[in-house]
Amino acid sequence: MAEIIGRTAEMALIEELLRTGGTLAVTGDRGAGKSRLLTAAEDLALQGGRHRVVRLRGPAEPPALIRRILLAVRHDLPGLESDDARAALAFLELAAGPVASDPVRMTRAVLAELDRRYPLLITVDDAGSPAVVLNGVVRALLLATPAPVAGLPTLALSPLGPRDSHRLMETRPQPPTGRARAAIARRAGGNPAALLELDGGDGPIRPAFAAQIADLPEPTRRLLLHLAAATAPVLGAPLVGAPVDARAVAAAAGVADPAWPAGLVVRQGSTVDFVHPLAADAAYQTATAHQRAQAHRALARHLPGPSAMHLGAATFGPDEVVAAGWESAAGVFRSRDELVEAAIAMERAAERSCCSEDAARRLARAAADTARLGAADWTAELNAAVRRLTADPELAAPAEFTVAVALSRAGRQHDAHGIIAAARRAGRRTSVAMTRLAASIAAISGHEEHRRSLAGMLAEVAPEIDPADVALMRLISDPADRTGRDLCEITRPPGPGDDRRTLAVVGTIAALEDRSRLAVDLLSAVLELNPAAGRSNTALGAAGEMDTALGDVGETNPGLVAALIDTGQLDRAEQVAGTVDVAGLPVLRAALEALRAQVRAVRGDGAETMRLVRDAWARIDVEQHRAIHVRLLRAAGLAAMTGGDHDDAYRYLRSMFDREGRPLEPFLAVRGIADLVSAAVRSGHRDEVQPILDGVRAWSRAVPGVRLRLLLHRADALMAEAEESFRRAVEDEAAGEWPFELAMAQLHYGEWLRRARRPRDARAQLSAAATAFEELGAVRLAEYAARELQATGPTARPGVLTPQEQQVAELAARGLRNREIAEQLFISVRTVGAHLNSIYPKLGISGRHHLAAALNAA
């Protein structure tokens, strides 16, 4: 069954209806997709092979409805032995017999009898209130209704969101692009039919509205044309906010006593608006060009607001008064965050400009508006127009910057980098903003070419920018550069008065340098200072400048989420990730989905992990987003590993490195080396992974760091089964900064000790691992560690708990987590963990879930 775009949750409800039975009335605006949803439900029921489907189309009063139902099941009636079945055949005049005195009761009885033989799904499209007679008769009843039906559960189809709107437009044979796509998305308001039919697409709804309008008297048609000219798209943009004053529109149309057709418009007090965007489009497009021009001239005289816009729609040629009017209107739209309208108004202003420099200036401002929208194709079109009109770098440079931002935001990192490279080849000096954007692109793409070119740009602008920016850009261009590491060493905890942007930059450096706790502190402070930090749809000024840590990639929130995951704060990581508005930002959305997938993988939810991974991969070109790609591979590998599929785990984790064993991305891939070696050893690829391990070890000498050193100790231990490497991986005091990685090292060490017939030593490591996994919510790994612990054999004779151990044990048995226990007893979380590691062997149990029974037995 083909996917219904934007209706995943609705289809899940229907699947539940088919499993458990019930009635559901589907409502929504005309063109919302009610019929499509019913058809999908029918297909789903037939594919399942359990249901018999009865389709009913169109409203009907009870007699006609009953006839339709019985005709649909007429071939089954002879097989029923009841009097009701015989009466139904007589009702259809297919057999002789008495006519039922109560056809409704007869029909309900027949359907109930059939439903006992096999489940029935009855779907009624465009159902009216008579369809309620079917409620409760069969196990599954689905109605599509124009309005809710009293007493029935209702599913109201909401408009599609921006992403799904664009996906739906992509299904057209010739999808709209650039300005046309953005304007249609804005005009349609998420209505699926409008998204497909506006701008000439095929479909039944707009022709139906056009036919309805054609049958109206001429004064009413003229009235609707004037209303459409005032509220519907004029050259792609609404002129003023709808609805509008009904009397003003009637006066402009010259209709003294307006008769507003109820099926086409809706009145609320003194205002009036169309019931559907396709009704407005039909009213406007079915008029002649001369009639539309007359309507705009009349509206310019009668409506308040920017009359120059209406005059502009009715006249042609350069006219600075009209151009200024469009530009003024664009400012109004921009103040209301109506960026599609603002950009189109600026385009209209450019078209009516009297000189090329004014036209270029206005198009450059339109490009800034479209860049904020993330409409990359449109921004590129505007940038090309600016370059055709002027060679003035004061105008060309901002336009180039905004198109590069839009391309990067849309996931086209190579194209965005190409814009920057072309500007440099043309001899234009790189601006600070462009250099920051280049750093963003290099960080996202992970491509060596992008990182190398950043060094030359940085040399041009370094004296003009903050030292923290310089350190971050140097680190991105050369991960072995020590400037960022040195900056982290002297960075103090954030405090009042700290600059948000500097905190964000240094926090990003800390995250890349594996100073995870410092990254959490700094980036958390950014979020507290500005809850919207990290949102990539940052405001562009007139010159196209942006105020983010690295151009406009929203590094703050993803960086914080990643650092929270690294430090074991998984609940907070998911909470922060859920607060980010990612509408229209596929790169940011994919980055956060990759991080959420990592959390789900750690917690053993393989199905949800892979759903998130597949969704994110579908949004990006992995060759242009290696940082995100590596995170997704790591999440998929962890999910496979926790699920016990080490072959798949190796396949995913090995893909973080190229054929020659070099990391696809310089910062993230090497962090997966220990997991890769673990999967390789368990799946028989030990020899194949050795060159990659050697390469990472060589890399670690150029880029030293505690975290990578610990990961290499674990990897070496797994490869050589060397106890000294295991001990180094688990006994370093710094290892606690990354609790999941420490727990994995303890688990692997405990497994090795158990196989080496050292059960007492193994129990200490496995118990610590099980406790850590429980704290992280890593259910499957906790269960695995507990099984390994049990396999070490009988524990020593239960010992006596100390008073504080007794308190810790009782609180843990009640379900409190380590942090909650620490807060109650005024001790550290680490002390709680140490007590639990001592408690388990004393009570002869393998983990937290046995505490209650052990304490009761004692």
Reported as a single tens digit per residue, the pLDDT across 423-433 is 888 777 778 88
pLDDT at res. 534: 43
For residues 608 and 543, give the distance between their C-alpha atoms in angstroms, rounded to a whole number.
Answer: 43
Q: Which residues pair with 115 in a beta bridge?
A: none
Query: What phi and psi values does residue 156 have, to the nearest 5 degrees?
Result: -90, 120
Q: Mind listing the pLDDT tens digit for each residue in 46-105?
A: 888 888 888 888 766 777 778 888 888 888 888 888 888 899 898 888 888 887 888 888
* Local structure of 605: helix, strand or coil: coil
DSSP-derived pairing of the beta strands 271-274 and 244-245? antiparallel
Q: What is the pLDDT of residue 326?
A: 86
Number of C-beta neighbours around residue 644 at 10 A: 12
The encoded tokens of residue 475 equal 């680190």
8-156 maps to CATH 3.40.50.150: no
What is the pLDDT at residue 583?
67
Write the CA distances from 318 to 352, 375, 388, integer angstroms: 4, 28, 18
Domain topology for 467-580: 1.25.40
What are 397's two structure tokens? 């440079």
Using DSSP's 3-state secondary structure scheme, residue 606 falls into: helix
What is the model's pLDDT at position 598?
95
Q: What is the DSSP letter of 337?
A: T
Dist CA 92 CA 357 (whole Å):
78
Rounded to 5 degrees, φ, ψ at 372 are: -65, -30
Planar angle of CA 739, 741, 745, nearest 5 degrees: 110
Instruction: State residue 233's pLDDT score.
Output: 45
Strand partners, 244: 272
Tell me the two tokens of residue 855.
């304490």
Determine the length of the chain: 858
275-290 pLDDT per residue, tens: 898 998 899 888 998 8
Instruction: Assign 635 a pLDDT band (cuts: 50, 70, 90).
Output: very high
Residue 169: partners with Cβ closer than 8 Å, 6 or more residues away: 175, 176, 181, 184, 185, 195, 196
Q: Is the pLDDT higher at 755 or at 239?
A: 755
Half-sphere exposure of 268 (CA within 13 A, CB side): 6
pLDDT tens figures, 254-282:
998 888 898 899 888 888 888 898 998 89
Mean pLDDT of 139-143: 81
Determine contact, residues 473/551, Cβ cutoff 8 Å. Answer: no
Q: Which DSSP category does 798 fall into?
A: P
Burial code (b: 16+ CB inside 10 Å, e: under 16) for 188-216 equals bebbbbbbbbbbebebebbeebbeebeeb
Are residues 745 and 726 in contact, defined by beta-carbon separation less than 8 angstroms?
yes
Looking at this protein, which amino acid is placed at residue 19? Answer: R
CB atoms within 10 A of CB 539: 11
| Beta partners for residue 57, in sequence order | 125
Name the least confident of 11-15, 293-297, 533-537.
533-537
pLDDT at 538 over 60: no
CB 632 within 8 A of CB 613: yes
Span 492-507, mean pLDDT? 82
Segment among 172-186, 552-566, 733-747, 771-785 with least mean pLDDT: 552-566
For 736, phi then psi, to 5°, come to: -65, -15
Name, in order, each residue with C-beta under 8 angstroms of 147's C-beta and a sequence gap of 6 or more. Answer: 27
Residue 243: is the preceding peptide bond cis (ω within 30°)?
yes
Better pLDDT: 395 or 424: 424
Continuous H helices in 258-316: 277-285, 289-302, 307-314
The pTM (predicted TM-score) of the whole model is 0.68
The residue type found at 661 is: G
Q: Are 73 and 40 in contact (CB under 8 A)?
A: no
Q: Which of 125-139, 167-181, 405-419, 698-712 has the lowest mean pLDDT?
A: 125-139
Query: Please, what is the Cα angle at 669 between 668 and 671, to 5 degrees?
Result: 70
Question: What are the helix (H) ranges across 203-270?
Answer: 205-214, 218-231, 246-253
pLDDT digits (tens, 9 = 90+) for 603-618: 999 999 999 999 899 8
Angle of the 467-477 helix axis to the 483-490 helix axis, nearest 10: 140
User: What residue has token string 């707009």?
Assistant: 206
What is the average pLDDT across 21-35? 89
Asked if 412 contacts 588 with a C-beta cutoff of 8 angstroms, the reply is no
pLDDT, average across residues 187-201: 85
DSSP-derived secondary structure letter, 226: H
- Pairwise CA distance, residues 234 & 782, whole Å: 62
CA angle at residue 310 from 304 to 312, to 5 degrees?
A: 140
Closest CA to 506 of 579, 458, 560, 452: 560
Contact 274, 283 (CB under 8 A): yes
Query: Residue 156 forms beta bridges with which residues?
Result: 27
Report whether pLDDT(422) > 80: yes
Residues 398 and 360: their CA atoms lie apart, in Å, by: 11
Q: Is the pLDDT of residue 669 over 60?
A: yes
Question: Pick the residue with more confidence: 843 or 296?
Answer: 296
For residue 305, the model assigns a pLDDT of 63
**DSSP codes of every residue in 431-462:** PHHHHHHHHHHHHHH--HHHHHHHHHHHHHHG
Closest by CA position to 22, among listed 152, 149, 168, 130? 152
Which residues does residue 143 pair with via DSSP β-bridges, in sequence order?
25, 124
Strand partners, 121: 53, 140
In the chain, domain spans: 8-156, 160-203, 467-580, 761-857
Sign of the alpha-carbon torsion through 740, 744, 747, 749 = negative
- Amino acid identity, residue 806? Q
Question: Who has greater pLDDT, 788 or 373?
Answer: 788
Does residue 675 have a pLDDT over 90?
A: yes
pLDDT in tens, 299-347: 888 876 656 677 777 778 898 988 988 888 888 888 888 888 888 889 9
State the sign of the Cα–Cα–Cα–Cα dihedral 537, 538, 541, 547: negative
Q: How far apart, in whole angstroms, are the C-alpha atoms of residue 255 and residue 367? A: 41
Residues above pLDDT 90, as percent of the chain: 25
159 pLDDT tier (thresholds 50, 70, 90): very high
- pLDDT, residue 545, reads 36
Residue 405: its pLDDT value, please? 84
3-state secondary structure of 478: coil
Does the pLDDT at position 352 exceed 60? yes
Contacting residues for 25 by C-beta, under 8 A, at least 6 apart: 127, 143, 144, 145, 148, 149, 152, 153, 154, 155
pLDDT at site 94 = 87
User: Which pLDDT score is estimated for 240?
Assistant: 43
Answer whether 467-580 and 761-857 agree in fold.
no
**Which residues have a Cβ under 8 Å from the Cβ of 301 and sit 6 or more positions away?**
252, 307
- The confidence score (pLDDT) of residue 306 equals 59
Predicted local confidence at residue 510, as pLDDT: 92
Query: What is the band of 237 on the pLDDT scale with cuts at 50, 70, 90?
Result: very low
- Amino acid 307: pLDDT: 67
Residue 273's DSSP bridge partners are 266
Q: Which residue has the tokens 């920017």?
A: 306
Q: Write down the mean pLDDT value for the chain.
A: 84
**Helices (runs of H) and strands (runs of E) counted in the chain:** 43, 8
> What does the pLDDT read at residue 128?
65
Q: What is the spatial distance between Cα 690 and Cα 677, in angstroms, rounded to a whole number?
A: 8
pLDDT at 5 over 50: yes
Structure tokens, 362:
């206005």
Q: In this model, does residue 544 exceed pLDDT 60?
A: no
761-857 is classed CATH 1.10.260.40: no
